[in-house]
Amino acid sequence: PRHKCGNQKSCPRNYFAFKITSGAANVVGPSICFEDIVLMSSVKNNIGRGLNIALVNGTTGQLLNTDTFDMYSG
């Protein structure tokens, strides 16, 4: 069976499904999936070098904001 965000098993009731994938150099970009919706990815063109963060409301699951922080450039 298929599970949300491509996870190996379903989450318990009243829990959110998510998957965070790290990038691989400049070849594969990182991605963040939440409840089967891709929030950040190279396809959406909203990722960057460094930390990629998606802020989600912990009660409703609503996406509040996304941002990147380039830790290399200081």
pTM value is 0.85
Q: Count CB-CB contacts under 10 A for residue 24.
A: 9
- Give just the sign of the alpha carbon dihedral 49, 31, 53, 22: negative
The residues spanned by each domain of the chain are 4-70
pLDDT tens, 3-62? 999 999 999 999 999 999 998 767 788 999 999 999 999 999 999 888 899 999 999 999
Q: Give yes or no for a contact between 53 and 69, defined as CB atoms under 8 angstroms apart.
A: yes
